[in-house]
Amino acid sequence: MPAFTTHLGLALPIIQGPMTGSDTPALAAAVSEAGGLGMLGCGMRSPAAMAEAAAEVRRRTDRPFGMNLFVQATPTPDDATVQAALHRLAPFYAEFGLVPERPAQWCEDFAAQFDALVAARPAVASFTFGILTAAQVARLQAVGSYVIGTATTLAEAQAWAAVGADAVCASGMEAGGHRGTFLTPTQPGATGAAPSLADFAASMVGTLPLVAQCVQALSIPVIAAGGIMDGRGIAGALALGAQAVQMGTAFLTCPESAIGTAYREALTRAQATDTRTTRIFSGRPARGIVNRMMQALQSDEATVPPYPVQNALTGALRRAAAQAGQADCLSLWVGQGVAQVRPMPAAQLMALLAQEWQQATAPRGTSTIGHQ
């Protein structure tokens, strides 16, 4: 068993990807109870909600679990930008009898969320959208949390290693949901600058080459993420040198996830070619199933305000669409492996993944069925 799983006391090298808005304490607990690492996506949870979610996981299991945050600063967009964005969204809001409004807040305060994370003391603390300071990493490690940074390029992985992260999650372009890119490969010397559209495009590296590069260059564990849906994918990632895999889309159709009926139905019909990355819903490139809203606003991809502004501006619209069962106005985040989703309880899926992984790593001509 890889050192990563041994250190955390896991029976399987499987991490349930944090999926803000879609994961639940029930899902995280079920995965952890089955021998993997359940995760809570807390990027949009308030500090109080973070504490309650962690407590709920602990009520359900005594196994290790993790929590994930978005590394972000609270924005101060100008009024003209906000009004232009609201004008673009108005026709879609009107479909639900609503008028778009400026939200009360753009995002949760990261400093307060970070304090809540330290107080929660999860076994794993992971991050995306940015990078911590070495002092922040050390603060988490001091309370016993294992720190994982998300990287979409080798340079980002090396940056996380440099600040003392315990492991890196190498997130390939196949992954569903938001791209975690935070460096600026097309802007040499632009220290502290936000990634441009060109930077996001340059950082679209596939899972296999990204994992291979990171394993070769780093001395800390590498976790593979993006397009991994079954035991063969797990075996392939570990053969490349990854010490674990992170799987999100595979768990979306579990009954423990929070997604609604329209989202679930779209998942079961989708193929890999039905997905693409878009900024329309949140302002940050994210992979999801193409729908009417994505198609209608495609020409505005370059002009929508960046995350979290656009994300906040579409929030009420997406909630209304979910309540109405209208998938055309939902952000249907999925990875390119979506055609391989298998609706079943998380515990059953974990058992199946373990069996498939065992079979994939058995010598040719042998079977592990009945010898688990």
For the chain (372 residues), the mean pLDDT of every run of 10, in chain order, is 91 98 98 99 98 99 99 96 98 98 97 99 99 99 99 98 99 98 88 88 97 99 99 98 99 98 97 98 98 97 97 98 97 98 99 98 66 44
The pLDDT of residue 296 is 98
Report which of 332, 331, 337, 307 is spatially closest to residue 317, judged by C-alpha positions.
331
Would you say 157 and 163 are in contact if contact means Cβ atoms under 8 Å apart?
no
Instruction: Specify the pairing of strand 65-70 against strand 177-178.
Output: unpaired
pLDDT on residue 370: 47
- Rounded CA-CA distance 104/121 in Å is 30
| Full set of structural domains in the chain with CATH | 1-72+107-258+342-372 (3.20.20.70), 76-105+259-341 (no CATH)
Distance CA 36, CA 246 (A): 10
- C-alpha span between 206 and 92 (Å, rounded): 34
- Asked if 254 and 346 touch (Cβ cutoff 8 Å), the reply is yes
Strands 222-225, 167-171: parallel, antiparallel or unpaired by DSSP?
A: parallel
